């Protein structure tokens, strides 16, 4: 795999290409999502890219009714909340993500522990195109 720097920017670029990537320390095998350039277990800076399978389970979530301007611009508000969560990947690491395919108006139907798979949400076009990491129920 090509050697991009193990940075937040690379992580975002990969998301744009519909890849959820982490970094693994070649020295001690520790795995990180999002990627780290410095291993915080052995302090070496010798990493390799690893593509995550994109399966995991919901570790925690919330359904937000009062969001920041960016989310309001997407049409979310008090009557149309959105769900975000922390997902524990099958590989053992965690990521923050939007949770799609659930009903944020009925949060009691969303369960910690539910099985999820990755989904890439693209917003905007050209220069302003961004990709958000999301997960949906399997």
How does DSSP classify residue 38? S
Q: Which is nearer to other proteins, 44 or 123 (CB)?
A: 123
Q: Site residues for other proteins, window 45-64 (CB under 8 A)? A: 59-64
CB atoms within 10 A of CB 137: 14
Contact call for residue 80 and other proteins (CB under 8 A): no
Preceding amide of 34 cis, omega within 30 = yes
Contact call for residue 75 and other proteins (CB under 8 A): no
- Token pair 């990755």 in the structure block, residue: 118
19, 49, 55, 67: which one binds other proteins (CB under 8 A): 67
**Residue 27 to residue 24: CA distance in whole angstroms:** 9
> Which spans of this chain sit near other proteins (rule: CB under 8 A)?
8, 32-34, 59-72, 78, 81-82, 84-86, 93-98, 104, 107, 112-113, 132-133
């Amino acid at each position: 795999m090509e050697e991009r720097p193990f940075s937040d920017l690379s992580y975002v670029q990969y998301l744009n290409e519909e890849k959820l990537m982490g970094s693994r320390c070649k020295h001690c095998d520790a795995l990180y999502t999002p990627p780290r350039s410095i291993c915080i277990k052995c302090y070496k800076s010798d990493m390799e890219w690893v593509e995550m399978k994109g399966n995991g389970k919901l570790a925690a979530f919330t359904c937000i009714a009062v969001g920041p301007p960016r989310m309001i611009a997407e049409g979310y508000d008090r009557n149309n909340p959105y769900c975000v969560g922390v997902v524990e990947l099958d590989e053992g690491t965690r990521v923050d993500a939007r949770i799609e395919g659930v009903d944020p108006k009925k949060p009691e139907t969303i369960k910690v522990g539910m099985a999820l798979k990755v989904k890439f949400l693209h917003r905007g076009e050209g220069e302003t195109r961004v990709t958000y990491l999301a997960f949906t129920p399997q």
